Amino acid sequence: MNKDQCFQLGRIAKVHGLRGEVNVVLDVDYPEDYEGLEHLFLEQKGRLVPFFLEHFVIQPGGRALAKFEDLNSLEQVEPLVGSEAYLPLTELPELEDDQYYYHELIGFEVIDEVLGLIGPVQIIYDLETQDLLGVIHKEKEVLIPIQDGIITQVDKAAKKVFCRLPEGLLDIYLED
DSSP per position, 15-41: EETTTTEEEEEE-SS-GGGGTT--EEE
* Mean pLDDT calculated for residue range 151-169: 94
Which pLDDT band, with edges at 50, 70 and 90, does 21 fall under? very high
Q: What is the mean pLDDT of the chain?
A: 93
> What percentage of the chain reaches a pLDDT higher than 70?
99
CATH of domain 102-174: 2.30.30.240
Which pLDDT band, with edges at 50, 70 and 90, does 101 fall under? confident
> What percentage of the chain reaches a pLDDT higher than 90?
77
Which pLDDT belongs to residue 137? 94
Based on DSSP, count helices (H) and strands (E) in the chain, helices before strands: 2, 12
The answer to whether residue 43 scores a pLDDT higher than 90 is: yes
Q: Are 134 and 123 in contact (CB under 8 A)?
A: yes
The answer to whether residue 94 scores a pLDDT higher than 90 is: no
Identity at 18, one-letter amino acid code: L
Q: Name every residue whose Cβ is closer than 8 Å to that of residue 77 and which is 6 or more positions away in sequence.
A: 15, 20, 21, 22, 68, 71
Match domain 3-90 to its CATH number in 2.40.30.60, 1.10.10.10, 3.30.70.2860, 3.40.47.10: 2.40.30.60
